[in-house]
Amino acid sequence: MDNSTTGVLLVNLGTPDAPTTSAVRAFLKQFLSDPRVVDLPRWQWWPILNGIVLTFRPARVARAYQKVWQEQGSPLMVISLEQQRALAARLAQDLGTEVPVALGMTYGTPSLEQGLESLKAQGCDKVVVLPLFPQFSCSTTGAVFDGLAAEFAKLRTIPHTRLIRDYHDHPAYIGALAGSIQKHWNHNGRGQKLLLSFHGVPKRYVDEGDIYQRQCLRTAELVAEHLGLSQGQWMACFQSRFGKEEWLTPYTDETLEALPKQGVTAIDIVTPAFSVDCLETLEEIAIEGKQAFMAAGGKQYQFIPCLNAEPDHIQMMSELVQAEMRNW
């Protein structure tokens, strides 16, 4: 195995460069212009995107980012850089040699092109691509594949490439998730029910063949099994829906409003589809979700952070990468 020519490209969705209306507008324009994200015909979607969405949505999203923005930058970017450094250190320790690790985002900066250029500059002609989306969706990992193909189309020679499609049921991932939940319970106590809130996608995507919902539910089942939970002690739900089309249900926001009326007034909530805490976890779930639950009559709401740069999470990434490297 020639480790000296192998590099790793860590990929996440991306983030605006600043919590400002203009920066958010630029990010949303790139993100929502991707047919993998919104697959409506361009003639139908373009007037909506440019005439309505990009006119009104950026200011509201910028205000949401301002609630969670850190001194060093966007939480997603700050933590992703921590993951990059930690994975490089972990691989060096596990393999006894340096393995270049670059960061690329599907949208925004650093781009996929910049990540690939960084690895090329370090002499890598083999690249393991690790999209940090545990469950596959055409709208996330599918978009990474498209982005890589677009970059490779510009090159005369492309690197040997391995893309890790998903790891929704990998034992190290399930163990890390369950371990983080148990650790939280050990320190903070446990509510009546555990909610596993996954990012939603339009139901139509699943009807047309996307395996995302199936993988999300499998992740939830395995985590519950690992923790020894009975059926009534946990549930999976889906957040972050956009537009009028039906998305995967049950919806997280509606669930949070309904549970207190059913006698469930103390919950713990975790977001297993996100490998990094970001706007959708820190603002939508930790802040807005808590407000909705408490306003509906809830008494205790505990948000459990993403795996971020925790050692178990980084070790899992190392295992995934090494499995691909062994096949070369």
Coil, strand or helix: which one is 327?
coil
Task: Calculate the average pLDDT of the chain.
Answer: 96
**Least confident stretch, 2-16, 42-56, 301-315:** 2-16
In the chain, the domains with their CATH numbers are 171-304 (3.40.50.1400)
Q: Is 170 annotated as a binding residue?
A: no
pLDDT digits (tens, 9 = 90+) for 92-130: 999 999 999 999 999 999 999 999 999 999 999 999 999
Q: How confident is the model at residue 1 (pLDDT cuts 50, 70, 90)?
A: very low
| Residue percentage of the chain with pLDDT more than 70 | 99
Residue in 242, 210, 221, 290 with CA at minimum distance from that of residue 61: 242
In Å, how far from its chain's centre is CA 104?
14
48 phi-psi bin (left φ>0, alpha ψ -120 to 50, beta other): alpha
Hey, what are 200's tokens? Answer: 């939603």
CA distance to 69, 99, 189, 217, 267, per residue, from 298 (Å): 27, 48, 16, 25, 8
Q: What's the predicted TM-score (pTM) here?
A: 0.95
Q: Is 168 annotated as a binding residue?
A: no
User: What is the distance between the alpha carbons of residues 262 and 321, in angstroms, rounded to a whole number?
Assistant: 44
Positive or negative, the CA dihedral 286, 304, 140, 231 is negative
Q: What is the pLDDT of residue 144?
A: 98
Would strands 126-131 and 266-270 be described as parallel, antiparallel, or unpaired? unpaired
User: What is the distance between the alpha carbons of residues 30 and 239, in angstroms, rounded to a whole number?
Assistant: 22
Maximal CA-CA distance, the chain: 63
5, 97 contact by CB (below 8 A): no
pLDDT digits (tens, 9 = 90+) for 222-252: 999 999 999 999 999 999 998 889 999 999 9
Reduced 3-state DSSP string for 147-209:
HHHHHHCCCCCCCEEEECCCCCCCHHHHHHHHHHHHHHHHHHCCCCEEEEEEECCEHHHHHCC
